[in-house]
A and B are shown apart, each in its own frame.
Chain A
Amino acid sequence: MSANPRTIIIGLDGVPFGMLKAFADAGVMPCTRAIIRDGFFTPMQSSIPEVSSVAWPSIITGHNPGQHGIFGFVDMIPDSYKFRFPNFKDLKAEPFWNLCSGQAVIVNVPSTYPVRPMNGVHISGFVSIDFEKSVYPQSLLLELRKLDYRLDVDARKAHTAMDEFLQDVDKSLTARIKAHQFLWDNYDWQVFMLVFTGTDRLMHFLWDAYEDPAHKHHDFFLDHFKKIDQAIAEITAKLTAPDSLIILSDHGFEKLEKEVYVNHLLASEGFLAFEQGAEPKPVNMASATKAFALDPARLYINQKGKFQAGSVSEADKSACLADLEQLFSSLEIDGRKVIKHIYRKQDIYAGPHLNSAPDLVLLADTGFNLKGAMTSKQLAAKGPFTGKHTYPDAFLLVNNKDLTADLSENPCVTDAGKLIKSCVS
């Protein structure tokens, strides 16, 4: 193993600052508690929107979406109004491992599929589809299969067979930890990044189990975090003094009260229309459509010259934006304001890809989960999910306080990315 200081990054997908602190304080995560005690621990802002597909690219590049070009899990093709799914090939900024002089081992970082050749090992994370396109180098495939490595849990099971889903979550965690042990020992790496994503899945479906000690899956929830803490303990035991350890999440989480369907409101207020009798999906939008939303709440003006059947002229755009802001800022459900912030793209994004950015991004108030599905027949509903992502309370934990001297007071995921880059290059 090299004598140079190494950097180890552990991602806990979706884990909010408050939860990690609570688990540390309560003794669920004793090792994490010790790192918090001796290191630097802060809440951190997620990306906008607050989803993994945008936040992790910001973390691995240290850039905002205007520069790295990823604005969500899904995009619209301007010529055809068809969905496309941006992936690692669409990332327009270099991930930190390309800047690192030594070998990197990168495991399960969301939005890094399909893998491409690099100096080290790369196993991509959510959404990875084909195993053979998720692993570099390919010579590792056999070893990973032996370890029963799983790219992801099958979240569909959570809708039909919760026990099977939980088994799957547990097996994935075990295999992920085993893979990390194997790679740790067998490569001469300078930087090691490992992301745990079962945390996010559990919180989507079982936030209630976290909050309620009487819930039948409460112990499973705690055990999952205990196992992660043990893996962290195993890692810290192998560190030497100059090594940097960075533990972080990409967004926070909270209890979900109501799903709110943004496109339903756009349709009922006349901004969005579909061809007569056609299924409500993007390709069937009528030419009168002025605006539509993509998950979770990215609003696009159907602008002439930008979209093939654009209806809003450059001159009318600012009035349309103002109408939308008016509409959403006054939206109330159950007597509560739904939207906490409305961002215009130039306020949150900067860089060469600003043109592909959504015109507005909505941030929900506590408990409301904004959705871009076009098929909902109601404005608001309660679905099978009990937890939802949050923007202000991801976390950042660093073992060495000195590393964070230049960090801004309210750091965001992009700042964490810059910190990682300064450690590895």
Chain B
Amino acid sequence: MDSNLSHLDKLENQSIFIIREAYSQFRDVAMLWSIGKDSTALLWLVRKAFFGKMPFPVVHIDTTYKFKEIYDFRDKYTKEWDLSLIVAKNEEALGENMGPTKGKFQCCNELKTVALKQAIAKHGFKALYLGIRRDEHGIRAKERVFSPRDEDFEWDYKNQPPELWDQYKTKAAEEEHIRVHPLLGWREIDVWEYVQREKIPAVNLYFARNSKRYRSIGCATCCSPVDSEADTIDKIVEELKTSRISERSGRAQDKEDDYMMQKLRSLGYM
């Protein structure tokens, strides 16, 4: 790789390489679009990789508890970027009034994990692109990634042997689908600097209003804003360079603990 390339150029090149390779190997693919900054940056990279076109569908897992701004943003850019959008909902669970009051872990499991499984089964996707990053804290960082894995089941991009895609294919035969993580090596600040450089649109929840902004967005019921004066992308990048608060601090990090507590309570503990 050219040493004159900027840090962002290198990340972009790596990601585009992974995006193209996975597509040429699996074909029946889709990407998950949470409408957040990471998956929107991923969407941007995919469009770049295929010269402005989206050769596969975009899946939005709709828990129905998302912020209104998220739905507005989704609909606007689905049109503008001519996306083939699949909205995945677990209608059965929603019909039974599943929601965060029934336990955050159950809610997430039914409305996200199960909804996604249903969509995969219905459309027969062999691989899914996800915008997760290694430096993300919390329950999502455990998502299954590629082998070879290190002790924490994390994928070490740099240690991948050249024949890596063949390994993934073997894996695909025995499991339901393969997950592709083109942003794994990006950090939160890389994403924002990329958003800044490329002028990628972002949901306005990320920008401070009344001294509060969201660093991570999802369901309205499980997110809370952090103190911040950053009301532009430039200010967000500036803030991240100085801040040490974890990205998901405003998010319900305690889903596992919450579930653990319920399990223990059912046996009379706590």
Q: Which residues of A line the B interface, CB within 8 A?
A: 73-74, 83-85, 116-117, 126-127, 129-130, 132-133, 138-139, 141-142, 152, 154-156, 158-159, 201, 204, 259, 295-296, 369, 371-373, 383, 385
Contact = CB atoms under 8 A, between A and B. Distances in A.
A274 to B, nearest CB: 17
A159 B266 contact: yes
B106 to A, nearest CB: 10
Contacts of B149: 117
Given A85-B257, A295-B269, A127 B263 contact: yes
A83 B266 contact: no
Given A142-B174, A373-B270, A73 B259 contact: no
Contacts of A372: 269-270
Interface string B104-116: 0100000000000
A295 B262 contact: no
Interface string B180-203: 000000000000000000000000
Given A73-B269, A85-B260, A156-B262, 11 more contacts: A74-B264, A74-B269, A74-B270, A130-B256, A133-B142, A138-B175, A139-B175, A142-B175, A155-B266, A159-B266, A295-B264
Q: Which of A74, A296, A369 has the most CB of B within 10 A?
A: A74
Contact of B268 (A117, A138, A154, A385): A385
A373 B262 CA distance: 13
A92 to B, nearest CB: 17
A326 B169 CA distance: 67
B87 to A, nearest CB: 25
Contacts of A385: 268
Contacts of A74: 264, 269-270
Nearest to A385: B268
A156 B266 CA distance: 5
B144 interface: yes
Nearest to A52: B267
A204 B260 contact: no
Nearest to B109: A130
8 closest Cβ contacts across the A-B interface?
A155-B266, A156-B266, A295-B269, A85-B260, A127-B263, A385-B268, A129-B256, A155-B267
B151 interface: yes
Contacts of A138: 144, 175
Contacts of B263: 126-127, 129, 152, 155
Given A127-B260, A129-B260, A204 B175 contact: no
A74 B270 CA distance: 8
Contacts of B266: 154-156, 158-159
Contact of B151 (A85, A117, A129): A117
A198 to B, nearest CB: 13
Nearest to B264: A73
30 contacts: A73-B264, A73-B269, A74-B264, A74-B270, A84-B257, A116-B151, A117-B151, A127-B263, A129-B263, A130-B139, A130-B142, A130-B256, A132-B142, A132-B144, A133-B142, A139-B174, A141-B175, A142-B174, A142-B175, A154-B266, A155-B267, A156-B262, A158-B266, A259-B268, A295-B264, A295-B269, A295-B270, A371-B268, A371-B269, A372-B269
Nearest to A371: B268
Contacts of B176: 142
Interface string B238-267: 000000000000000000110111111011
Given A85-B257, A156-B262, A204 B268 contact: yes
Interface string B131-165: 00000000100101000010100000000000000
Q: Which of B149, B151, B176, B266 has the most CB of A within 10 A?
A: B266
A115 to B, nearest CB: 10
A311 to B, nearest CB: 24
A155 B261 CA distance: 12
Contacts of B151: 116-117
A361 B105 CA distance: 33
Nearest to A201: B267
A140 to B, nearest CB: 10
Nearest to B150: A117
Nearest to A296: B269
Contacts of B142: 130, 132-133
A161 B176 CA distance: 34
Contacts of A204: 267-268
A328 to B, nearest CB: 20
Contacts of A84: 257
Contacts of B144: 132, 138
Contacts of B262: 156
B116 to A, nearest CB: 13
A296 B264 CA distance: 11
Contacts of B256: 129-130
A103 B109 CA distance: 33
Q: Which of B105, B256, B261 has the most CB of A within 10 A?
A: B256
